[in-house]
Structure 1
Amino acid sequence: MKSVVAPPHARRWAALAVLSASLLLVVMDMTILNVALPEISADLKPGSIELLWMVDVYSLVVAGLLVTMSSLGDRWGRKRMLLTGFAVFGVASVAVLWATTPAAVIAVRALLGVGGAMIMPSTLSMIRNLFTDARERATALGVWATMAALGGALGPIVGGLLLEHFSWHAAFLVNVPVMAVAIIAGLILLPESRNPNPGRWDALGTVLSIVGMVGLVYAIKHLAKEGLTYPPALITAAVAAVTLTWFIRRCLNRPDPLLELRLFRSGSFTSGTIAALTTSIAMAAMMLLLAQWMQLVMGYSPLETGVRLLPMAVGAGIFSPLAPAIAERIGARTVLAGGLVVAGLGFLALWALPLGYPSVAVSLLLIGSGMGSLAIASAVIMSGTPAEKAGSAAAIEETSYEVGGTLGVAVLGSIAATAYRSELPAGAAEAARESLGGALETAGAMGPSGASLAQQAQQAFNDSLVLTSAYGGALMLVAAAVIWWLTPKDLDLAKAEH
């Protein structure tokens, strides 16, 4: 029986502006960190593990809490959850003023992750409920995806501007006034929505999802860093396997699951999720490496780095809003798979062309243009999802992004680190072997005799960047083939279920 279509909300486009602005800020905050990392490292002197935790703890916390927060939002109210997330994000950003150690910065990033876990699924699930017309929903999700791309571009530029004039703390404090405005605008413009029949709260499922996801992300990080025989990571991986298997079985056997995993029975839903996961894997590692390459190899300032990352935003900004209209003409499957092919070619351009900023600019433009397909990925995921299950769909998509980011930094980042270390002299100092920043600092302390070490380290980093881009490109092309196979040929987003 076809569900009754709810009337469109009168202020849905104004509400979309608030939701998109909140997404813009969250994504900006993630990319600002990449630009601020060198100054944080110079000030606080974190070890390699602490540095990885600064990058990864946000994803770890978000991945662990997304399922719980999305389900709570379905019950408590998505507007309430979103505004609470804004408040937590703002408080965490102020707390950076007291962060004088690497551990304190990690704690601030973890609290930001709590706020992000409240914000991210709320924006998607509210869009699903605000826009009852499928064509309007696809357009709204295209705008949402464009804001994500712009956030990725504006983060380094805003971060660079702030770091030109202030300490690295400003990269966090910029969130505070924006969050205050978002709370006020959200109170006025956003409607409340929730699942009218949420069922009983699954307390055991909540614990299983948190333990399983945190354990999974921790295991990925440390197995990649320490090797496949590292006992704590192996134990954590076993715990994650048991708890997530238990959680999945519990969700499949309950009429009112914490997470509606039966959505994966749809090929289009699965293909959209794979697109989100693989893109995030490739992008997380490459953006981290490119930010370091621009500053530590090319010698650009943080602001110059941000400006030089703009071609990706230009490509995404052009194609994200156009993707739904293009999909109407040539099909959602073609746009989704084709976008990943274009992004994959962008990664392979770094591998095939002589490494320098011109080839990087070409690569970023292709990657950004391909990422425009993610507007379709969100629309495909939401197209066949009933409104009452929007929280589960949003949680699955955002979990894909967060787990993908962690996998990218852990796996592709480890490939880059291994390639970098393999090209350094066996007798190089441990600090030089840990990171390019450590090598340049060691070389500087050596005086004129350190020039050779600095040159070797920069060349090793160049080679590791090129190798990692080849792996990222191959991953995107494989994902494109899988998505072409999974996505129904006749999928029409304009005629999707309401």
Structure 2
Amino acid sequence: MTYASSRRDNLALAAVCLSSMMFGLEISSVPAILPTLEKVFRADFPQLQWTMNAYTIAVATVLMAAGTLADRYGRKRLLVLTIVVFGATSLLCGVAPDMPVLIVGRALQGASGGAMLICQVAVLSEQFNGAKERAWAFGWWGIVFGSGLGFGPVIGSGIAALMGWVWVFLLHGLIAALTAALAVAGVRESKDPDAQRLDLAGIVTLSVAVFCLAYFITEGGELGFSSPTALAIIGAAGVSLIAFIVAERITPHPMFDFSVFRVRPFSGALFGSMGMNFSFWPFMIYLPIWFQAGLGLDGLTAGLALLAYTLPTLVVPPFAERLSLRHGPGIVIPAGLFAIGLGFLIMRIGTGGGVAALPITLIGALAAGIGLGATNTPVTNTTTGSVSSDRAGMASGIDMSARMISLAINIALMGFVLVDGVLYSLKGAASGSFEAAQLRHLAEQIAAGTAAGLHDAVPGLPDAISRTAMAAGFGDVMLYGAIGVWVLAALSFLTFGRRREVYDPV
């Protein structure tokens, strides 16, 4: 029997690809319905942020643990379990009666999705042994995963418009049932007899540090950044981070081997990984709000407009790989990051308004998407290829953790910059009519896309004030994204240097 006719392997690949599609869709389709959630649940701006942050923080929490658990208890067993849990938590999100339940559901979704993602890679690596077969399998996996991310905004907008926002979540319950059945029928069970012990100390301390930092940034405006509660939270983040570093240095089998950071290509690529999540990916949460509330597009049209942002991430990677082979990742990765920053500056010009606002924004979104497509694949290949083969899994885990952690933190940071920019603009136009707490609440409403809040509070006050404030806030976010990604592009370029190294563990 030839490889291509292996029914079991085809079933396994179908299960892995469907599960990767679900994971990707839940990252990129949900931002497109955030304005709808704001209206349905009367959600405030921090709640909209937590809808995404709960997912990404949970993913980052389980990534390293999931690999160890899969090796010890069975990759097929954990994959099937996580698919079932992902489907169940998707149903929970779809029937959520309010925002707190939805946020809890998103956290559970993220935890099961992160474990599911790690199992996908492990299953493909084990099920497809030959180099040709493995390349074929991972190629299909990458296409489906990328399609879920790239088409997620328009799929989410389309489902919400035709069937209602709940089906953005409920649909995954049906897909998960099919995917679990395919996994049971097709995936071969495998374990690692030499699986290491779970690094509980590292997992707990890192998770607490990330959560506390994201909470401080997201809720600090409401709590007061200098309040005892806020200071206690940021103090807990600092103590947890120190405890994590100590734990990883003294444990016999750390999930983070810090010595790998001495490898210049690895560290240079890691700066690239962080750069994408200082700019492109967190802004996907806020761009639908700008398209709808700022530029006046309806939900479905906004989803189609988002294709300018996401489609290049599917088209550009093959060309980026060729450029990386010819010129080296030390050139391609910083150049890709620079293109993302350029795109953000172009989008910022679009906040000036006028008939050209939408075309300029789309041009900037396209440039940012091209930059992301040029950066993403070389980053992944360099982080795993610059270390010895026995550390490739660890390197991949650090890369994915860096992505999720920087994404979670920058979702919060971009939200803070957005609200602060709106608030600053409002202070100049309406500060005499409101107390400080009221003004902040109005700034959060405008940032979430509810421009009517300011108009209703003061009859006769022009809507232009809220629109100007929103444009100012989004302009600040775009500038933050451009500066952040350019700083990391410079760090990546300087870290790569001219040398090529391979990590040799000591």
Is TM (by shorter chain) over 0.5? Answer: yes
Which one is further off, 411-420 or 453-462? 453-462
Which AA in structure 2 matches 1:440?
A
Q: TM-score, normalised by structure 2?
A: 0.85
The match for 2:238 is 241
Percent of residue pairs bearing the same amino acid type: 24
Change (3 A) 1:234 1:192: farther
Of 459, 471, 488 in structure 1, the residue corresponding to residue 480 of structure 2 is 471
The match for 2:398 is 396
Change (3 A) 1:213 1:432: closer
Which one is further off, 21-30 or 287-296? 21-30
Q: Equivalents in 1 of 2:274, 2:138: separation in Å?
A: 17
Q: Equivalents in 2 of 1:388, 1:126: separation in Å?
A: 17
Which one is further off, 415-424 or 311-320? 311-320
Q: Equivalents in 1 of 2:11, 2:492: separation in Å?
A: 33
Highest RCO, 1 vs 2 (Cα 8 Å, sep ≥ 6): 1
The match for 1:29 is 26
Which AA in structure 1 matches 2:404?
E
Which one is further off, 456-465 or 39-48? 39-48
Q: Deviations over 1:68-117 (max 9, x none)?
A: 22332232233433332211110011123431112111111111122122
- CA-atom RMSD, angstroms? 3.3
Change (3 A) 1:444 1:457: closer
Name the SS for the 1:281 alignment partner. Answer: coil
Q: Do residues 232 (structure 1) and 233 (structure 2) align?
A: no
- The aligned runs of 1:433-472 (5 Å cut-off) are 433-436=443-446, 437=448, 439-442=450-453, 445=456, 449=459, 452-472=461-481
The match for 1:482 is 491
The match for 1:368 is 369
Q: Do residues 310 (structure 1) and 307 (structure 2) align?
A: yes
- The aligned runs of 1:220-369 (5 Å cut-off) are 220-223=217-220, 226-352=223-349, 355=353, 356-369=357-370
Which AA in structure 2 matches 1:164?
A
Provide the aligned length of Structure 1 versus Structure 2.
485
The match for 1:164 is 161
**Cα offset, 1:144, TM superposition:** 5.7
The match for 1:92 is 89
Which one is further off, 179-188 or 403-412? 179-188
Which AA in structure 2 matches 1:119?
M
Do 1:348 and 1:469's aligned partners in 2 also have CA atoms closer than 8 Å? Answer: yes
**Cα offset, 1:245, TM superposition:** 2.2
Q: Equivalents in 1 of 2:167, 2:203: separation in Å?
A: 35
Q: Equivalents in 2 of 1:262, 1:43: separation in Å?
A: 49
**Cα offset, 1:265, TM superposition:** 2.9
Which one is further off, 379-388 or 143-152? 143-152
Q: Deviations over 1:319-378 (max 9, x none)?
A: 123322322222222221211111111112123455511111111111111111211111
**Cα offset, 1:308, TM superposition:** 0.5
Change (3 A) 1:478 1:292: same
Q: Equivalents in 2 of 1:280, 1:221: separation in Å?
A: 17
Q: Equivalents in 1 of 2:136, 2:378: separation in Å?
A: 9
Which AA in structure 1 matches 2:415?
G
Which AA in structure 1 matches 2:81?
T
Change (3 A) 1:165 1:379: same
Which one is further off, 199-208 or 178-187? 199-208
Q: Equivalents in 2 of 1:301, 1:187: separation in Å?
A: 42
Which one is further off, 404-413 or 248-257? 248-257
> Which segments of 5 or more consecutive residues in structure 2 lack a partner in the other structure?
1-5
**Cα offset, 1:160, TM superposition:** 1.2
Which AA in structure 2 matches 1:468?
V
Q: Do residues 38 (structure 1) and 61 (structure 2) align?
A: no
Q: Equivalents in 1 of 2:386, 2:134: separation in Å?
A: 12
Which AA in structure 2 matches 1:461?
M
Do 2:46 and 2:219's aligned partners in 1 also have CA atoms closer than 8 Å? Answer: no
The match for 1:432 is 442
Name the SS for the 1:423 alignment partner. Answer: helix
Q: Deviations over 1:174-220 (max 9, x none)?
A: 21222223323333444545544233444444433443343343334
**Cα offset, 1:380, TM superposition:** 1.0
The match for 1:197 is 194
Which one is further off, 472-481 or 260-269? 260-269
Name the SS for the 2:297 alignment partner. Answer: coil
The match for 1:381 is 383
Do 1:146 and 1:316's aligned partners in 2 also have CA atoms closer than 8 Å? Answer: no
Do 1:139 and 1:324's aligned partners in 2 also have CA atoms closer than 8 Å? Answer: no
Do 1:121 and 1:398's aligned partners in 2 also have CA atoms closer than 8 Å? Answer: no
